[in-house]
Structure 1
Amino acid sequence: MASPKFHNSIRKYHRWLGFFLAGVITIYATSGILLIFRQTDFLKFPQTEVRQLEPGLQIESLGDNLRLKNFKVESESNDAIIFNLGQYDKSTGEAVINTIDYPKPLAKLVKLHKATHNSPLFFLNIGFGVSLLFFVVSSFLMFMPKLPFFKNGIKISIAGALFALIFVIFAS
């Protein structure tokens, strides 16, 4: 069995890492809440983007060049292609795209949660995940196993895990 000195050391590391990660957790919580509402227009504003493309593109190559999600052409004339998010002028090559998106700071928060292994944010996400796992393990090492705090902590953790499992099974 580990000594009280070991448990006190774990408490110290848990506390200091917790203080350090308080800001990171706030950022992740905010971006997670934003992602819950990503299918709505909550906190989103109209934005217009102008892209200069090659003049005279056909419909197929226009979709490939714009790389827009759910790109659909609505109509085509001799001098323009109208699509679901804007229009493309065939003679000048100018594409005007009208979207509804988060302001730049909030858009960056959303990208934090969507980061893949190709993004520099990958390292922050992995570090944060490993830190959260440390919190899980260290919370059980903060008290001596014979103390009532430890035994009650185990019971509460099991209840929390069961609650999450039941919620995931029946709510999805």
Structure 2
Amino acid sequence: MKLWSKKIFNKSIRSLHRDLGYLFIGLTLIYAISGILLVLKKDEQNPSYREIVLEKVAKTNLTPDELKAFWKDHFSDAPKLTRIIPAEDVYNIYVKGGLGKYYPYDGKIELTTYKKIPIYKFVNDIHYNSGKRFSSIAMIYAIGLIFFAISGAVMVKGKKGFKKRGVWLMIIGFIIPVLLFFYT
């Protein structure tokens, strides 16, 4: 009797495909959700952050030092002011978590701050591999997907198997992204 028969091999591939498939559900969901978020992002805005626009009014013609003092006294609800850089007719304002402008001639202040959305930040950090923390997981996941593609192809036999039907669907699966790449 053979130690490794075709029947044992098929059963082993099916079991491994099934069990690894269960294991990879979480990774697949994280990569899929973050991929959808990246596709839907607007104007290159990072979906991990929510943009908050604030408009305030201060006294006119304040110097940078006067603006700092005014900020401290009147804008306790605004983010902490960290830096002011005067330009020609506007001051560039840096606040904690954002930036803005002060227009001395009319006292108008426009601020844009960014608030982190934790779940989006988490899935995008994994998808972008920020800090290279997820390189080993990404490599294992990629190898797992290759295994799923090959094992899934050899599991089904007969007229709906890979040799009869699957090979054509696989070819279409290659052609679609190639066509989209060249024609969009």
Give TM class, smaller chain.
Answer: 0.5 to 0.7
Matched residue type, 2:50: F
> For residues 119 and 112 of structure 1, what CA distance do their matches in structure 2 show?
9
Unaligned runs of 5+ in 2: 53-77, 103-110
Matched residue type, 1:26: L
Instruction: Return closer, same or farther for 1:11/1:50 CA change in 2, 3 Å cut-off.
Output: farther
> For residues 122 and 164 of structure 1, what CA distance do their matches in structure 2 show?
25
Q: How many residues align?
A: 140
- The reply to whether residue 121 of structure 1 matches residue 134 of structure 2 is yes
Unaligned runs of 5+ in 1: 60-72, 89-96
TM-score (norm 2): 0.60
TM-score (norm 1): 0.63
Please state how far the C-alpha of 1:168 moved relative to its aligned partner: 2.2
Please state how far the C-alpha of 1:74 moved relative to its aligned partner: 5.9
The percentage of aligned residue pairs carrying the same residue is 24
Matched residue type, 2:9: F
Preserved contact between residue 85 and residue 99 of structure 1 (Cα < 8 Å): yes
Q: Which residue in 2 is equivalent to 1:45?
A: 50
Preserved contact between residue 31 and residue 109 of structure 1 (Cα < 8 Å): yes
Please state how far the C-alpha of 1:34 moved relative to its aligned partner: 0.6
Question: What is the root-mean-square deviation in Å for CA atoms of aligned residues?
Answer: 3.4
Please state how far the C-alpha of 1:87 moved relative to its aligned partner: 6.2
Q: Which residue in 2 is equivalent to 1:64?
A: none
Please state how far the C-alpha of 1:82 moved relative to its aligned partner: 3.1
SS in 2 for 1:141: helix
> For residues 113 and 43 of structure 1, what CA distance do their matches in structure 2 show?
12
Matched residue type, 1:110: N
Matched residue type, 1:129: A
Please state how far the C-alpha of 1:141 moved relative to its aligned partner: 2.5
Moved over 6 A (4+): none
* CA deviation vs aligned residue, 1:61-110 (integer Å, no higher than 9, x gap): xxxxxxxxxxxx86677xx643693369xxxxxxxx83345512211211
Instruction: Return closer, same or farther for 1:125/1:75 CA change in 2, 3 Å cut-off.
Output: farther
Q: Which residue in 2 is equivalent to 1:91?
A: none
